[in-house]
A and B are shown apart, each in its own frame.
Chain A
Amino acid sequence: MNPERLAQELVDPIKTAVTTLPEPTLAALKEAREKEEDGARVQLDAILEAVEIGQKEEIPICQDTGTPTFYVQLGADYPAIDRLDEIKMAFRGAVQLATKEVPIRPNTVNPISGKNPGDNTGRSIPWINWNITDGTDLKVTYLPKGGGSTNMSQLTMMTPGKGIKGVKELVLKRIASMEGKPCPPTVVGIGLGGSASISMSLAKKSLLRPVGERHEDPEIMDLENELKERANNLGVGPMGVGGETTVLDVKIEYDHRHPASYPVGIAPQCWANRRTSFLITPEGDIVEVER
């Protein structure tokens, strides 16, 4: 494995992530377009045209190419497990190259000085989320999430006595109050339980699941369906101009909570629900997989 070569190889999946949409998201947008009329349809037509141009001309669909974030599923028996430092270095090199070559927007600002180094790197950025799993594969999802939707994130330490009904109310209130700001139709990620930080991280992680895919736990599945249906009754509509489609999907993940705490994390994702998933072979080659 050569970290410089790997960095160069990684530019491609970053490019695919920002210039195209995953098929399930695109299908959901097309379905929404058929349901809408007037201003809402104008928005979805513009969205679908932008996606087409992005793919054809290989340019970022949206100018906000997000905070560079890699979600890594590391198999405990991955043969090149002693080379993780080099992989980390390659991630950093890849976003620097992609900033020039794709190009993507320099999106890292020092919170104290306000300075932007201009290459999409910074303290802890690109952000790498490591998860240890079984097996021999190293699977990565690149998730460039934009600032508009991220600004609508919310953590609530709910009174536990309010229960599931309280969760539903809280989520619907949030989707209503966000209006057009997170670029709807959105995918709304929800994290229940754990701790304050765990619930936020679960909310974001839930966005890794494809649009339309339901949680394996039947109770969570029902909750996702109910919240999706109710959210679409709110009338926010595409880009907040009113309409039938406020969300493309609702995703929920949960962990057990402390008896005194009921953290509810909400992480909305804009319609440009971008990502790529790929394996890094022990030799340092990239194999793109379904996203």
Chain B
Amino acid sequence: MLKMPEADPQTVKKRASIATALRRIVPGEGVIETRTEMSVYESDGLTAYRQMPLVVVLPKTTAEVAKVLRYAFENKIKVVPRGAGTSLSGGALPLADGIVLGLSKFNQILEIDYDNRCARVQPGVTNLAITQAVQHKGFYYAPDPSSQIACTIGGNVAENSGGVHCLKYGLTANNILGLEMVLISGEIIRLGGKHLDSDGLDLLGVLTGSEGLLGVITEVTVRLLQKPETARVILVGFPSSEDAGNCVADIISAGIIPGGMEMMDRPAIHAVEEFVHADYPLDVEALLIIELDGPAIEVDHLIEEVSAIARKNKCSTSRTSTSEAERLLFWAGRKAAFPAVGRISPDYLCMDGTIPRKRLSEVLTGMAELSKKHGLRVANVFHAGDGNLHPLILYDANVGDELARAEEFGADILRLCVKVGGVLTGEHGVGIEKRDLMPVMFTEADLAQQQRLKCAFDDRGLLNPGKVFPTLHACAELGRMHVKAGKLPFPEIPRF
């Protein structure tokens, strides 16, 4: 289990007076302090970790957010921002001595502007609600994380969320135009707008994926795209994951960027098929779900090209959707992969490394060995187009040390991803889950630079501390520190 920073007993002692002070800013039911009511906020999507917050505050306006943050800043109280709490990396895990600042009351779509292909929304609006508000005009919001029913756009910005279509349409960072945010000092800052290039330094880019460590997002301007005229899915099975991997490489080498390109391994296919009956082939080692979108004439052409490439790579089965219902059925399996795996195991840990695609079969082989080493099963779903792996490690938290073993297994998988040229997290964020693995990918100098950037936004280290970085440094200390040749002068600083 990962450790969190020690709670400050002085702050914990002042809990009642802090709640009273917050009530003055956010009156009525906007402050939650009973244990029963706060239990909802105890954890996020990384359910193995739980912590009762000091107090929860649910402001309604940007001005209230600014006052809450200003109060926390002046009184040196930590703040954990929270959207819908669907983070899979523990990004919204509370702190015993920290205020949870929930943005659930920011749930309005403020403006839809078709002329400029954008919408201004509050951060608590769900990802799917944006698409639902514009789909009657043929528009949609492109990033589609699998939690899109529940997850909020504010959380998407904080985590730079992806989804199955981001190979072609980009991540959150590529689909937002502007932000309003509040710094811990209470200062309100607007970045970008409805124009394409924001001015000055690309702080919009830095905020996206900053996991609640830099500022609290209070408004987002998102790009809206016109839905492609047609989309069809081709479902191709392969006798080995290597063949499937080669097929993916050949498709891209042929200059084709599919709208989505997903891979599942045998255990995942079987779990899914039992659960949703998407009519997936069961006698294959790897299954590719490839969506091609655009005008019908283009899609037909691409389906043929992709089918030919699949045949060349020894596919054993191939089916193309002939109706919208069938297309959705083909996707239904993939989209239900996590709950399907949840049915065959009491608990699972969802990993999120990205690798250069051509190293896939090597990584899968390595993973099979690790599975034996740790004595736990693993099922794989994989955003094949962009190399983003989601190994699902199956365990039972009630059995001995299985959770600890699952965590070790996960860490080994991520080390393997980095070793082959990949990264620790493709779309779920570092949070607490991958925090202590950051040094596998970054040197002390790399991390010190990122932490100095954090200091530019929050020099008291009050916003979401204990996440992302394995070591807490005071900003003054970082300012003095000189990291020579990637090494700190004092490498043995205690890590929490």
On whether the two chains bind one another, the answer is no
* A residues at B contact (CB < 8 Å): none
